[in-house]
Structure 1
Amino acid sequence: MSGVLPAGVPTDLLVGGAWTAGEQGDFAVLNPSTGDEIARVPRAGQGDVARAVEAASAALPGWAATAPRERAETLRRMYELMIARREDLAYLMSLEMGKSLTDARGEVTYAAEFFRWFSEEAVRIGGELRTAPSGANRILTFKRPVGVALLLTPWNFPAAMATRKIAPALAAGCTVLLKPAEDTPLTALMVGKLLAEAGVPDGVVNILTTDRPAEVVEWALADSRVRKLSFTGSTGVGRILLRQAADRIVNASMELGGNAPFIVLDDADLDAAVEGALLAKMRNGGQACTAANRFFVQEGVAAAFADKLAEAMGALRMGPGTDEDTQLGPVINAKQLDGIAQRVEDSIAAGAKVRLGGVRPDGPGFFYPATVLTDVPRDAPVATQEIFGPVAPIIPVADSDEAVRLANGTDMGLSGYVYTGDLARGLRISERLEVGMVGLNRGLVSDPAAPFGGVKESGLGREGGYEGIEEYLETTYVATQW
């Protein structure tokens, strides 16, 4: 079965409940483990976008008026379907994205959990009744869905990034247009098929595939019926989208790039820190916005930490994502591979020392080995740019103050990690870090029940948690008295 697209995976657009070809031909989806084509999917045209917006707009009144319990039960069925189809979905993700089957299975469970979490939040959408301080009137508030939402998702978590947006949107009563990344559209299309099986009405979820995303987004945002934009991706693209959203004052949520610091202090349990580093750095092969990007290690333990981390990362088995024994799959495409290799080469030229890896292998596929760099200059590319790959640059620091100063010395502020044997010390550092999320003696921060998002140029708004559904709701205030 390796390398073969499973039966039953859709390869058409989903518009108004119907699977249909696109207006502008199609494009290839590649297996990054081999570089071979595994499928072709439609390139959506302007008419396809218009029909999708029309379908979502037509379905909006009925879905918004559906009883919260009914919406909740539909989402719960979707959760159960995803869990039941976990192996199929995991294999599909490994095939089109390259992640290991272990990572892919974990992602399916994580992705499905958003439907369970927001099925429970759907019935808790509330409002308030207060008395105005003057006593002249009552202040009544209630929530309503924003409307038609345009959801733009990245390639690195093709299931979870879709469900993290679809689930709260549907729970709130919105209808959606989903545009998945061109590298990984198949998982999103499979999610659309399962949503129909779960009972989501026609037109509530529409999926548009394309390798010309700027066109699709421009056409969709030009339609006055699209009232919400949610994007996960690079900060550079996020800036462009915010400018476009500003033209019609479209409600926008942005989950953008990261440059996560991983701080190891001299009182840390180094074995626990290495275990956490493997999660924070190597989950999904380092291709995560939350991935540890810069390792600030106190000088007294820097050498020992580097030895232990290099040993652990060097033991990972690299191979095709769909192979059961693979622990490190390929990166997503040739462009990404070239970028990682160039940043490593430039950093070595700047003075970084190679402790592990650092040389791209020959052969098919887009592979880069687990790499540990030590004595990394603070202005080296791997210390200043998001790597998005299996490279761990270690930067010695004198103390926690220097670690925090360097950690905050970036325009990004998504996540950070701190390892110390003193909980109070760790909490003080967590408060000082300019990030939206902190893993304190823990290498994993993502949880559907927690608010996910960053500060500074890492984004606007939060996904998941109690906060996640608020991104798809508007508040109406009524002044009244009796």
Structure 2
Amino acid sequence: MTTSLREKELLAAVPTGLFVGGSWREAADGARVAVEDPSTGQTLVEIADASVEDGAAALDAAVAAAPAWARTPTRVRAEVLRRAFELIAARADDFALLMTLEMGKPLAEARGEVAYGNEFFRWFSEEAPRISGRYSQNPAGGSRLLTMKQPVGPVLAILPWNFPLAMGTRKIAPALAAGCTVVVKPATQTPLTTLLLAQTLAEAGVPDGVVNVVTTSRTSEVVAPLIADPRLRKLTFTGSTPVGKKLVEQSAQQLLRISMELGGNAPFLVFDDADVDAAVDGAVLAKMRNQGEACTAANRFYVQRPVAEEFSRKLAERMGSLVVGRGTEDDTQVGPLIDARARDDVARRVTEAVDAGARVVVGGGPVGDQGYFYAPTVVTDVPAGARLLTEETFGPVAPVVVFDTEEEGVALANDTEYGLVAYAFTRGLDRAMRVAEALETGMVGLNAGIVSNAAAPFGGVKASGFGREGGFEGIEEYLETKYVNFPL
């Protein structure tokens, strides 16, 4: 696979340094780290690899910029965010191609992520002027009670690799709308989109030091001192539950405000009264978004016995027809997994399930001799203890399990430490509401294979974390409430 002239020109235009205090700079020790194309395994470009000193400089810049940005009128902050929305929309093709190059997702999906991720700038540009408090009388008399909302303060935002734009905008937009400054640490695998975003935000008028980007392969080494610094007031993280738990422990020393969007193991329920064709459509959407590399991806398919054979057959037909290839190709529907480790982990889980008695209906192995591709796979007769069911699988594998009663299906869905999202397909309104209320998740897709929306609160319960991103709730994560007693 060769790199096109368009790809070369885009890569040459993307900054490769650290963005600190409004300026681009190299790492203090001159270190560089390679960014890989997962469809080829080859290096796309090398970027600055930040040290502890660079992380400290980024926090210094955020702290220095915080008072002025907090005092900036909300309407001004809103207009900056709106300009960012318009600039990203104008450069949608660049952002989409860049995500495809560094993460692997098909261009059509990357374009969808640009549209979705950019909505957070539009949504929170509208929410910034609506930050409000309240004024009330003291019930006992003699004074008035005034409450006001103020920015939390400097924020550290740690991003995952699977949605390079949307995971950044979901954190940066509400932080800026609330009046907070930010230090952003993108994932080592997919930092280029964040660097282009920083460049775009600067052009939109974000003041120096309000947004700082630190790219590094030495994440723990760079991040730990920032979390321990008393000037940092909030930590927001999207990633795995084990890493999230460690960050929560570290943040406790400073009693930081924290938001944790962690792992998922989403169940997908198909009841006997469901429209099976619609359920298959929803299943492919819920499973195959991002090659299955999404915390919202359906991981466990529980199908009621009367429709199990039809659903499994039709799902296998659809999954088997998907075109696997480099994301930049027009006909590609499934791109590579992020790296060799991810591909090999998926392969091991399928092999383990088969060895324990499961049956592969379609797919079941790596594809090609270049890059990190894995075939869309459907597995039936999966034993209860298989890792395909008990753990989150970041890949294009759909394990199908049959159940008999509604109560059994819901119990199977809830039998996990995770609680991010669940999906359920049924024609019955009464059943839909019973199931939605009984599922132990922060989000539910009823007869829908996708739930993400900038206007809705995204987040989970149990080991899937806490806090919400998006919706009216999203900006509250970056605001403190102050109460003032005003005697008369």
TM-score normalised per structure 2: 0.97
Map 1:426-437 onto structure 2 (within 5 A). 426-437=432-443
Map 1:299-448 onto structure 2 (within 5 A). 299-448=305-454
C-alpha displacement at 1:101, in angstroms?
Answer: 0.3
C-alpha displacement at 1:155, in angstroms?
Answer: 0.3
Structure 1 residues 366-412: Cα deviation after superposition (integer angstroms, max 9, x where no partner) = 00110000111121110111011100000000121111101111110
- In the alignment, the residues of structure 1 paired with residue 264 and residue 215 of structure 2 have an alpha-carbon distance, to the nearest angstrom, of 26
Amino acid at match of 1:425: R
SS in 1 for 2:374: coil
Determine which of 22, 25, 50 is the counterpart of 2:27: 22
Determine which of 8, 24, 33 is the counterpart of 1:4: 8
Map 1:3-402 onto structure 2 (within 5 A). 4=8, 6=10, 7-24=12-29, 25-402=31-408
Q: Does 1:450 align with 2:456?
A: yes
C-alpha displacement at 1:46, in angstroms?
Answer: 1.6
C-alpha displacement at 1:213, in angstroms?
Answer: 0.9
Contact 2:228/2:251 (<8 A) preserved:
no
SS in 2 for 1:268: coil
C-alpha displacement at 1:324, in angstroms?
Answer: 1.9
C-alpha displacement at 1:427, in angstroms?
Answer: 1.2
- In the alignment, the residues of structure 1 paired with residue 390 and residue 142 of structure 2 have an alpha-carbon distance, to the nearest angstrom, of 56
- In the alignment, the residues of structure 2 paired with residue 394 and residue 132 of structure 1 have an alpha-carbon distance, to the nearest angstrom, of 59
SS in 2 for 1:258: coil
- In the alignment, the residues of structure 1 paired with residue 345 and residue 421 of structure 2 have an alpha-carbon distance, to the nearest angstrom, of 22
- In the alignment, the residues of structure 2 paired with residue 112 and residue 359 of structure 1 have an alpha-carbon distance, to the nearest angstrom, of 35
Contact 2:85/2:118 (<8 A) preserved:
yes
SS in 2 for 1:323: coil
- In the alignment, the residues of structure 2 paired with residue 324 and residue 476 of structure 1 have an alpha-carbon distance, to the nearest angstrom, of 53
- In the alignment, the residues of structure 2 paired with residue 87 and residue 103 of structure 1 have an alpha-carbon distance, to the nearest angstrom, of 12
C-alpha displacement at 1:413, in angstroms?
Answer: 0.1
- In the alignment, the residues of structure 1 paired with residue 329 and residue 253 of structure 2 have an alpha-carbon distance, to the nearest angstrom, of 47
SS in 2 for 1:4: helix
C-alpha displacement at 1:362, in angstroms?
Answer: 3.8
SS in 1 for 2:418: coil
Structure 1 residues 73-119: Cα deviation after superposition (integer angstroms, max 9, x where no partner) = 10001011111101110000000000000110000001110000000
- In the alignment, the residues of structure 1 paired with residue 15 and residue 357 of structure 2 have an alpha-carbon distance, to the nearest angstrom, of 49
Contact 2:20/2:213 (<8 A) preserved:
yes
- In the alignment, the residues of structure 1 paired with residue 373 and residue 480 of structure 2 have an alpha-carbon distance, to the nearest angstrom, of 45
Amino acid at match of 2:299: N
C-alpha displacement at 1:278, in angstroms?
Answer: 1.1
Q: Which runs of 5+ in 1 are unaligned?
A: none
- In the alignment, the residues of structure 2 paired with residue 345 and residue 438 of structure 1 have an alpha-carbon distance, to the nearest angstrom, of 31
- In the alignment, the residues of structure 2 paired with residue 315 and residue 281 of structure 1 have an alpha-carbon distance, to the nearest angstrom, of 15
Poorly superposed stretches of 4+, deviation over 6 Å: none
SS in 1 for 2:366: coil
Contact 2:51/2:218 (<8 A) preserved:
no
Amino acid at match of 2:21: G
Q: Which runs of 5+ in 2 are unaligned?
A: none
Contact 1:137/1:481 (<8 A) preserved:
yes
C-alpha displacement at 1:151, in angstroms?
Answer: 0.1
C-alpha displacement at 1:136, in angstroms?
Answer: 4.2
SS in 2 for 1:475: strand
- In the alignment, the residues of structure 2 paired with residue 283 and residue 171 of structure 1 have an alpha-carbon distance, to the nearest angstrom, of 29
C-alpha displacement at 1:4, in angstroms?
Answer: 3.4
Structure 1 residues 266-309: Cα deviation after superposition (integer angstroms, max 9, x where no partner) = 00000100111111000111110000000000011111001111
- In the alignment, the residues of structure 1 paired with residue 137 and residue 400 of structure 2 have an alpha-carbon distance, to the nearest angstrom, of 57
Aligned-pair RMSD on alpha carbons? 1.0
- In the alignment, the residues of structure 2 paired with residue 5 and residue 110 of structure 1 have an alpha-carbon distance, to the nearest angstrom, of 25
SS in 1 for 2:177: helix
- In the alignment, the residues of structure 1 paired with residue 466 and residue 431 of structure 2 have an alpha-carbon distance, to the nearest angstrom, of 29
Amino acid at match of 2:305: E
- In the alignment, the residues of structure 1 paired with residue 438 and residue 94 of structure 2 have an alpha-carbon distance, to the nearest angstrom, of 43
Contact 1:253/1:471 (<8 A) preserved:
yes
C-alpha displacement at 1:5, in angstroms?
Answer: 6.0
Amino acid at match of 2:361: R
Contact 1:5/1:38 (<8 A) preserved:
no
Task: Tell me the number of residue pairs that the alignment of Structure 1 and Structure 2 aligns.
Answer: 482
Q: Name which of structure 1's ranges 303-312 and 164-173 shifts more when overlaid on structure 2.
A: 303-312
- In the alignment, the residues of structure 2 paired with residue 315 and residue 135 of structure 1 have an alpha-carbon distance, to the nearest angstrom, of 72
SS in 2 for 1:226: coil
C-alpha displacement at 1:20, in angstroms?
Answer: 0.4
Identity of aligned residues (%): 58
TM-score normalised per structure 1: 0.99
Contact 1:5/1:39 (<8 A) preserved:
no
